[in-house]
Structure 1
Amino acid sequence: AVRSMAGAIRLAAGVVEGSRAALSRAITLVESSLPDDFARATELFVELTRQQARRPTAHALRVGITGPPGAGKSTFIEALGRQLLDGGKRLAVLAVDPSSATSGGSILGDKTRMHALACHPSAFVRPSPSSGALGGVALRTHDAALLCEAAGFDHVLFETVGVGQSEVEVANMVDMTVVLLPPGSGDGLQAIKRGLIEHADLIVVTKADGELRAPAAALAREYATAMSMLRRRWRGWRTPVLTCSSHSPADVRAVLGCVRDFHATALRSGRFEQNRSEQELRLLFSAVQGELAFRLRTDARINALIREQHRRIVGGEVAPRVAADCLSTLFVERMRGGQSAQ
């Protein structure tokens, strides 16, 4: 335990000092599903909290960027990132990388698709596999964001692929959600049916250049009409719909200006802190679930009971719901130090 805490102290110091190698190791640690690493990650955050108490830093702006495949997310993020870096900002990009439950492989290769950002001394690009996390996508991605903030990055961008549940989870842990849509992604009224659109703080129709400029403008009008039918996410902000070519610095500046307007409006209205507070409560429950899962996985006696209940379910002796209630009751009694978990 002493050796483990000493390692946590060294790793936390490296993160706070801005070491990219230390930051990479720390994110690898919090992404791990190994029980020993789960405990070490907890020690790391205890030490980070202690060190940051001596060196308080402002919250980074967290922006989720999502959209369907083909929307040009990586090209857009690189263009937006360059403008942030040119303005003296420090940028981290966390790509929530959907992993295959069958093969274990991932489909994003963001370091190769964001070469300029990956090589910039003030930027950090990191794919983050989304499967197998203790506590879910949101908790692990949030942990990675906290590490980036501790390392001094003042803007954290989250890229999600926009084809599953992970982008909705990320939308619930960022300050602003930007949805990218390519020309030809359907009419605006259909968009209302998508839960993701309801999380959008900004919609950007991408690839608005050349032959696609007119279709992009037409789609933007349709989405603007569709968004006008939705209830505002919060008072004081109506979700804008912009067109953008990632190859046009003026278009990218317009998007960045909208991001800054949103941030300023959220701070003035108190929405920023309210949103962060609500997110922290949700993440607390997610962390508790992760901690309980960790304890279940590492308790030999409980694991034996799980195997026994599984045998009974397969044999038709008990329903999964009843078995789960039995196991949770026994687990709580065991946590209390009782002797009734027989």
Structure 2
Amino acid sequence: MAPANLNAEDLAHRILDGNRAALARAITLIESRKPAHRAIAHDLLTRLLPHSGGAHRVGITGVPGVGKSTTIDQLGSNLTAMGKKVAVLAVDPSSTRTGGSILGDKTRMEQLSIDRNAFIRPSPSAGTLGGVAARTRETMFLCEAAGFDVILVETVGIGQSETTVADMVDFFLVLMLPGAGDELQGIKKGVLEIADMIAVNKADGDGARRARKAAAEYRAALHIMTPASPSWTPPVMTISGLANESLDKMWEQVESHQQKLNATGELQAKRSGQQVRWMWSMVEDRMRALLHDSPAVTTLLSNVEAQVQNGQLPASVAVEQIMSQLLTSLRAE
């Protein structure tokens, strides 16, 4: 809850000074659906936008049980030991019935949760596409303005969350399990197409041989696909988040990727394109909200849906009726 006397200018100054309490309050503010809070949030984001963009933005996905949180905990700890400030935006699956969320990432990331140079923000997905928190992008900008050098975005690893997160980060890491290479774990071709790197996790002890075999199969699968960037061929490697094996080499790949894409101008072009697509995504969200916020449109929707479902009304005609009612409602305000 934002206090009545909260103002964007004061909050922006405190965030730029690295104030953790102000950062947490700002994130809560941008997640709020109250119109008054939304106005302050827009002002705040506008003030802080020039101070964002300086971090490594890394998305991390993988099937449940692959060890995302363990790997992120260890990787983040390695990075803070190198003097970097790390923010983890962990998006939990929300209940489709209650909107509830586990929000257990702080307990699953034991090292980072007590690290003074780390900031963990678990956010419920609130039913948004692919389980991605509605305000993850804004949260990322706030963390960058607060001086964080690395932003790690953990996805739920289900639905369309992979493609959604990949379109808000610079580098997209896909974690895989060992011993499942024969079936390629049923992974969608689309996920392979957007991966900047595949890391087969749990490659320690008895899992090492199986991990190497799985990695070879993923390399073969990637070999026949066209890379997203002419400057980067997605590598495949084996790691162990639990044993902290090869995580340093994995991070070297992240840095190499950024250096290469910076040199060609691809990284800036990628971020610019992401901003434009984000804008249109927000426009679509606001339009959907307008439809459901109008009592007149809501009443019409239930009738129109029933008629379309029963075959009494063509879908194209229904759309015209809905849009006509929405425009009428907006003019009346």
1:235 equivalent in structure 2: 230
Tell me if 1:97 matches 2:92.
Answer: yes
C-alpha displacement of 1:198: 1.3
Report if the CA contact (8 A) 1:178-1:204 is conserved.
Answer: yes
Q: Which moved more, 1:88-97 or 1:311-320?
A: 311-320
* SS of equivalent to 1:115: coil
TM-score by structure 2 length? 0.88
Report if the CA contact (8 A) 2:129-2:160 is conserved.
Answer: no
Q: 2:164 aligns with which of 143, 146, 169?
A: 169
Using a 3 Å threshold, how does the CA distance of structure 1 residues 82 and 295 change in structure 2: closer, same or farther?
A: same
* SS of equivalent to 1:152: coil
Tell me if 1:71 matches 2:74.
Answer: no
Using a 3 Å threshold, how does the CA distance of structure 1 residues 313 and 290 change in structure 2: closer, same or farther?
A: same
TM-score by structure 1 length? 0.86
Tell me if 1:20 matches 2:14.
Answer: no
Using a 3 Å threshold, how does the CA distance of structure 1 residues 50 and 230 change in structure 2: closer, same or farther?
A: same
C-alpha displacement of 1:185: 2.6
Once the two structures are superposed, residues 273-304 of structure 1 have per-residue CA deviations (whole angstroms, 9 ceiling, x without a partner) of 11111111110101112222333344444444
Using a 3 Å threshold, how does the CA distance of structure 1 residues 70 and 115 change in structure 2: closer, same or farther?
A: same
Tell me if 1:293 matches 2:288.
Answer: yes
- Superposed, 1:1-342 pairs within 5 Å as 6-32=6-32, 34=33, 36-37=34-35, 40-50=37-47, 53=50, 56-107=51-102, 109-133=104-128, 137=132, 140-187=135-182, 193-249=188-244, 251-310=246-305, 317-319=312-314, 321-332=316-327, 334-335=329-330, 337=331
Q: Which moved more, 1:44-53 or 1:308-317?
A: 308-317
Provide the rounded CA distance (Å) in 2 between the counterparts of 1:12 and 1:295: 29
Unaligned runs of 5+ in 2: none
Identity, % of aligned pairs? 42
* SS of equivalent to 1:106: coil
Provide the rounded CA distance (Å) in 2 between the counterparts of 1:93 and 1:263: 19
Provide the rounded CA distance (Å) in 1 between the counterparts of 2:137 and 2:198: 23
Report if the CA contact (8 A) 1:191-1:197 is conserved.
Answer: no
C-alpha displacement of 1:189: 5.9
Report if the CA contact (8 A) 2:173-2:195 is conserved.
Answer: yes
* SS of equivalent to 1:131: coil
C-alpha displacement of 1:138: 6.8
Once the two structures are superposed, residues 302-329 of structure 1 have per-residue CA deviations (whole angstroms, 9 ceiling, x without a partner) of 4444455456557765355532332123
What letter corresponds to residue 28 of structure 1 in structure 2?
T
Q: How many residues align?
A: 331
C-alpha displacement of 1:270: 1.1
Using a 3 Å threshold, how does the CA distance of structure 1 residues 211 and 202 change in structure 2: closer, same or farther?
A: same
* SS of equivalent to 1:28: helix
Report if the CA contact (8 A) 1:138-1:283 is conserved.
Answer: no
* SS of equivalent to 1:187: helix
Using a 3 Å threshold, how does the CA distance of structure 1 residues 17 and 294 change in structure 2: closer, same or farther?
A: farther
Unaligned runs of 5+ in 1: none
Q: Which moved more, 1:114-123 or 1:21-30?
A: 21-30
